[in-house]
Homo-oligomer: A and B are copies of this chain.
Amino acid sequence: MRLLFLGDVVGRSGRDAVIAHMPTLRERLDPDLTVVNGENAAGGFGITVKIAEEFFAAGVDVVTLGNHSWDQKELVAAIDQQPRIIRPLNYPEGTPGRGFVLLQARGGRKVLVMNVMLRLFMDPMDDPFAAVDRVLRAHRLGPNGADAILVDVHGEATSEKMIMGHFCDGRASLVVGTHSHVPTADHVVMKGGTAYLTDAGMCGDYDSAIGMKKEVAMAKLIRKLPTERLSPAEGEGTVCGCYVETDDRTGLATSIQPVRLGGRLSQSMPVRG
């Protein structure tokens, strides 16, 4: 299978970049499944159903979230009607929405997409390892199980993300980090056959502070005085993420390649295997 994952979409620049590059990505890579992290799509803070629908219309199959899941309050009430918008698995019991979704992809293949939040330097959550383990025990990769399993690991610390990668190695097709808003260059197929990337990077304007206007973020951090509210930078966005191909017999990855299109970063368009 061919899997496309794009990192945190930040504001209008990020949304415009995703909408603009999806046709080329679909043409060149013909993904069986496309997942986008949308936690910052609405002005940097959360996402609305309307924006998610624009992503779906552009060919996105699943939207994942993170610590900004509920910044747009309407989503709290709406998410239960939106099986393809998933929030972190390890929120408290009783949280609306779900932490994973099982989809039918092209050709009747079954795909599982999961979203989990890590804990170092972040809001306290229940154990992400136990949560992921429960799902991976219930839904095994490979013959008679899922054809592909994709885990969006929303976290700050690189150590914890790498450990989650090893924890899932051999049991998922792709473990990819989000939240840092900077793409990492450590894409690798691990020894057990799981593709891994510490962070997908954001879809947004990189002449910024992780997608937000740099002048405001700088004043806030350095001067520690009240400023105007942080809002997304408005320059041309870069679409960032990764493209993974799997072995249809095992569901494990055969390759992972970075995606970086448009905007200010060095460009990387994957090549279909």
Contact = CB atoms under 8 A, between A and B. Distances in A.
Nearest to A71: B226
Contact of A182 (B73, B198, B217): B198
Interface in A179-199: 180-188, 190-191, 198-199
Contacts of A85: none
A121 B123 contact: no
A181 B162 CA distance: 11
A247 interface: no
A260 to B, nearest CB: 7
Nearest to A46: B226
Chain A binding surface SS class: loop
User: Which residue, of A92, A130, A182, A222, has the highest number of chain B Cβ atoms within 10 A?
Assistant: A182
Given A126-B127, A157-B156, A186-B201, A209 B162 contact: yes
A186 B222 CA distance: 23
A124 B131 CA distance: 14
Nearest to A188: B264
Given A184-B185, A186-B201, A209 B159 contact: yes
Interface residues of A, number: 62
A218 B157 CA distance: 14
B158 A222 contact: no
A180 B157 CA distance: 8
Contact of A130 (B92, B129, B156, B183): B92
Given A121-B156, A186-B201, 6 more contacts: A70-B225, A158-B181, A163-B218, A163-B221, A166-B218, A182-B186
